[in-house]
Structure 1
Amino acid sequence: MSDNLPNQNIFAEYLIDSVNVIWDDRRVPHIFANNEHDLFFVQGYLHAFDRLWQMEFQVMAAGGRLSEIIGHKALEYDKFQRRIGMMRGAKSVLEYYQQDSLMLSSLKAYTNGVNTYINSLTIDQYPIEYKLLDYAPEQWTLRKCALLYMYMAWELSGSTNDLAHTKFLKEFGMQDYMELYDFNSPLLSPIIPRETSWDFEPIKIVKPEKVYMSDPYGDGIKYKPNPNNGSNNFALSGDRTKSGLPILANDPHLNLTLPSIWYENHLVAPNLNSYGVSLLGVPCVIIGYNKDIAWGSTNGMNDVMDFYDITYKDKSRKEYLHDNQWKNIELSIEKISIRGAKTVFDTTYMTHHGPIMSHDVFDKMPRFGSAVAIGRAMK
């Protein structure tokens, strides 16, 4: 972060009209633009002005490219990121971006703003982290925006209790399991009032005649998720506040980082006026308020990963059984460049579910490790 705020006129070829930025006494930028394109362009420019190295380093980490910067010591981490499919996921996110013209135009404007700042730098103006690590910033791309999305998705959902729950269920049975892990707990109160009547016929769920139970034994559980992790929020009616106005409290419970994952800013355009925090690498306000409403975001801690036992046709492990058919195992080969060393090619074995977990990489990740079902496919 630079201590010197830009207080001069800056001319950029991508701007449609003039934009004013006012910095308050807390160093929060208030951006006033005449259109949303220019608004998000300047937001990208200021994100890069204050946090360029953080922006780039976190998406390099997400995409499994840290070895390019810090060498061989990051290789296992990079393999892990490649094998769980962060780059494959980013490709899918990019395809989704292409379907929404408003989102795509905002991201392109933001990306041009980031690159305008990068291109304005001389080597001696690089943030100090680049000088210490002796490398130069890359151009920002839409793929990097998508990688930030994947980074946040993994940060909020990249843990699992499946192995522990399967062991408990197999050892003690469904009745004891439901006493501890009731899916219909009265503590889980929905936003929609419970007494709401639904005028439709629910889809009938067809239960299988026989439930398959995986054998979880032999897999040690070294890692257990932090029981204090989670998110919470609450709202107060104006009837209960001193000001008479409602209050929204939002606590996302993300990891404590330095610099912060958040960037506080105020965005103003003809049809937009919002204040709050944004994520470095994408436009808009993620948590904040406007003249009408306030909004927040918390993690529901939903189980979004599943693991599948694999039945191989033979010892070659080139085919596996699914729906009474033998399907080919596909190989995804990743090229990992390593600073000061030879390039490494890493192979991920893929099923239609997803990648097959392997001891050589997944056991070495302290957050993941053998809390997952090694040797099974992850979806």
Structure 2
Amino acid sequence: MKFLKKLGLFLLVLILLLIISGFIFVRLHKPDYSGEKVMAGLENQVEVYFDNYGVPHIYGKSETDAFKALGYVHAQDRLWQMELLRRIGSGGLSEVFGEDLIGTDKFFISLGIDEASKLTVSNLNKNSEAVTIINAYLEGLNQFVEEGPTPVEFYLTGIEKTKFTVKDVYNIMGYMAFSFAMGHKTDPLLSNIEIKLGPEYLEDLEIHSNPNTVWIKNHRHGEGNAIGNSVTAMVTESLNKLKLPLFEGSNSWVLAPQKTKNGQVIFANDPHIGFAQPSVWYEAHIETPTYSKYGYHIAGIPFPVLGHNREIAYGMTMFENDDVDFYYEENNPANDDQYKLAGNWVDYVIITKKIKVKDAKDVDFTFKQSVHGPILNGIADQIQNETPIAMSWIYTQEKNTVVDAFYEISHATKLSEFTSALPKIHAPGLNIMYGDAKGNIGWFATAKLWDIPDSVNTKLVYGFERRPSLQKDFLPFEKNPQAVNPPWNYVYSANNQPDSIAGLLYPGYYLPENRAKRIVSLLDPKNDWDKEDVAEMILDVNSPVHLEVLHSLLLLIGEADLSAVEKEVLDELSSWDGTYSLENVDGTIYTRLIYYFLVNTFQDELGKEMFNQLLSTHLIKRTIAPMISNENSIWWDNVNTERIQENRKTILIESFKDALASLEADFGTKIDDWKWQKVHTLEHGHPIGQVAALRSFFNVGPFPVDGTREVINNMAFPYDSTGFYKVSSGPSTRRIIDFSDIENSSSILPTGQSGNPFSPHYKDQAEMYINGKFRKMMMNEEEIKNKAASVLIFQN
């Protein structure tokens, strides 16, 4: 008995020690939101007031002091996120996650982001104001790297903290530019379809602009072989598994004073980005004698990509222009290290890099580069023994002044200063949205757009003939799509097709008209908008386009010989209003039906792998509605049934029956049990949360969530055979700025400010976000200081 008592006492003491140790560990590894710290190189004291949601309000006597403080507080909440983002462009993920990421590292190394960043940094004016601010931010960030507690993720992955450099800033921007691009997913796939099936199979895919859809209107002042494109599919899959943010789409609209109740501009923006934990944006408010901005920052980049102050507001959506091209190269039969250029055999550039791999030997990686770009063959096992194919990406091929542009944008005080910075954004293509206190509104498509000859189809891999000239003629920026103070008194973007550019419809990977059509239908008739109305609109989950598609489906399916249950479901669908609320069942039926329509229409010709690649593109989103209205499409016939000639009606009826059988198998025969909340959920995944035992600690959610693909509240998900729609991307913030009441402008983040799981702000906004709530973006100095949850002071 004495032994058991002693053993029990020992175990009790051990448990208490573990609890105490855990408590001390958590205390030591929380972000410091209060107290005083010495910061080297400060000219004057900087005060940081944290509000109830952990947003820092930074007050300094100079910009360099304020941005040093920003670097520190940004790092203490997001250092792990910064670490991962800087590693992507330089091919450093295998060092953290092991051999599974070698292919992804090879791809990003071959893209040339890191080399382009080195070149850009070597040519920077070290004395420029932008570089001075970047260095100040990095000094604060690196002080935290040296002195601050190590985030728990570094312990779990076994990597060391190291200082950040200016090159890291540009590498992070390079990854973000890549995540905007859709050409790497789409062009090889379309070429494969043409090669495998014939050009007639491309005719019914929405490759080109549709003149019958809603376009964004311009307004100016006064005027060979099949391609193994599974490499890029593999890269995208890897990044999705790591829960790293990929940019997908976005909404924004800006209302002129004539459209608002209070006679001042109202600005709304919700960029759509892949959900991750932490979410992509870090909010920070900075006030100095020369700078005032409430901004949204990407980890490791000092200048806000979204922001506002009392004079102007700006934001963005994705332009979706085509800035990636692929070229077949012709090898010299006598020398594989040469290719044909202008009729002559020239040497490939041979590049060798070393990749560090966790728990394994370093990997030496060699790849070839033509004048067009890296040769994708051989960068991973997916492409071997094929005609060489080069990938050309404008981001790495033109002078990079994107970071300078965002410095100037964030420092602009009026429309003319703002617009003068925009030509410096060569890639990625962005729709920059603008509004100001003087009543000006604007939309500007920013990218370097080349003057494409009529003979060139940018959506297919360029063959040996009929390829564009090496020397591209770029359009002057004033020819880019834009609208400034248009007579219809609003501007908007939903990533849809813009109106003509220099007399041509510029090729791109634009999203369908669904969101645009809804936005225009809501904005046009109403001229007394206020902030509350805009908040309701930004949460809208209704799809008129889905209703139009459904109407066509009902007419065709209703002619079939249906069972009693099938007729009941058809009656249920006929009363649907197109809204995707949690209690709705019609959206569940419709979405399941659309998936089986896609399977039964495309998979027999494409095969499973190419079909899944098609599902991952914006192209399929554009194709659904036109295809269902197209009675004579070549895709309707199932090539696997030799004696039967399927048509649109037979495919849609088959899809309807498949959808119902699937729903009954999942939820039973009672239609009321098929609610949207059972199938449509959102979980914010952390890279470490992919380990099952750590999921509940690092991940946030899952939550049932309303919305769906391509409604204004765009909660998107990949189609797959499970019938359960795990939301992968959506509004990365919802911002509403009312210039009639600037201090009560509102916002929300999907989870919280902090990426530190020990912080109280790790997920304190998650349920608010799901429930469509907003919080104030505080700008009033007296209110900020009086209501601050905590104060952190940096001393020199």
Q: What TM-score do you get using the length of structure 1 for normalisation? A: 0.82
4+ residue runs of structure 1 moved beyond 6 angstroms?
167-170, 183-186
Structure 1 residue 151 corresponds to structure 2 residue 170: no
Report what 2:80 is aligned to.
Answer: 53
| CA shift in 2, pair 1:17/1:191, >3 Å | farther
Q: Distance in 1 between matches of 2:298 and 2:137?
A: 12
Q: Is the 8 A contact 1:148 1:281 kept in 2?
A: yes
2:153 corresponds to which of 121, 129, 150: 129
Equivalent pair of 1:359/1:374 in contact (CA under 8 Å):
no
| Matching residue of 2:70 | 43
Aligned length: 349
Distance 1:127 1:179 in 2: 46
| 1:329 paired to 2:348 | yes
TM alignment of 1:1-379, pairs within 5 A: 3-95=30-122, 97-98=124-125, 101-121=128-148, 125-157=149-181, 159-166=184-191, 171-172=198-199, 181-182=208-209, 187-193=214-220, 196-197=222-223, 215=224, 218-219=226-227, 229-358=248-377, 361=380, 363=382, 375-379=388-392
**What secondary structure sits across from 2:336 in the alignment?**
coil
Question: CA separation in 1, counterparts of 2:387 and 2:295?
Answer: 41
Taking every aligned residue pair, what percent have the same amino acid on both sides?
Answer: 28
> Deviations along 1:6-57, whole A, 9 cap, x unmatched?
3222111221211111111121100011111111111111111111111112
> In structure 2, how many angstroms separate the alpha carbons of the residues matched to 1:279 and 1:231?
16
Q: Which residue identity does 2:106 align to in structure 1? A: K
Contact kept? 1:262, 1:277, Cα under 8 Å: yes
Kept in 2: contact 1:15–1:38 (CA 8 A): yes
Q: In structure 1, how many angstroms separate the alpha carbons of the residues matched to 2:127 and 2:375? A: 33
Would you say the 8 A contact 2:68–2:136 is kept in 1?
A: yes
Corresponding position of 2:737? none
**Partner in structure 2 of residue 204 of structure 1:** none
Rounded Cα–Cα distance in structure 2 between residues aligned with 1:96 and 1:248: 37
Whether the 8 Å CA contact 2:89–2:113 is kept in 1: the answer is: yes
Unmatched runs of 5 consecutive residues or more in structure 1? 198-214, 364-368
Question: What per-residue deviation string (whole Å, max 9, x for no partner) do you get for residues 256-292 of structure 1?
Answer: 1110111011011112111131111011221011111
Q: Mean alpha-carbon deviation: is it higher for 97-106 or for 158-167?
A: 158-167
Contact in 1 for aligned 2:329/2:387 (Cα 8 Å): no
Change (3 A) 1:280 1:74: same
Separation in 1 of the partners of 2:206 and 2:101?
Answer: 43
Offset of residue 248 of structure 1 = 1.5
Contact 2:368/2:374 (CA < 8 Å) preserved in 1?
Answer: yes
Distance 2:86 2:371 in 1: 26
Q: Is 1:160–1:305's contact at 8 Å kept on the other side of the alignment?
A: no
Seen in structure 2, the aligned counterparts of structure 1 residues 152 and 93 have a Cα distance that, compared at 3 Å, is: farther
Larger Rg: 2
Structure-2 change in CA distance of 1:319 and 1:4 (3 Å): closer
Residue pair 1:43, 1:113 contacting (<8 A) in 2 also: yes
Offset at 1:324?
2.1
Q: 1:53 to 1:182 in 2, by over 3 A?
A: closer
Task: Compare the two structures and name the one with the higher helix fraction.
Answer: 2
Q: CA deviation at 1:179?
A: 8.5
In the superposition, relative to structure 1, how do residues 295 and 89 fare at CA in structure 2: closer, same or farther (>3 Å)? Answer: same
Q: Which amino acid aligns with 1:268?
A: E
Work out whether residues 330 and 349 of structure 1, in 8 Å CA contact, stay in contact via their aligned partners in 2.
yes
Residue pair 2:90, 2:109 contacting (<8 A) in 1 also: yes
Distance in 2, Cα, partners of 1:27 & 1:352: 49
The one-letter code sitting in structure 2 at the alignment partner of 1:377 is A
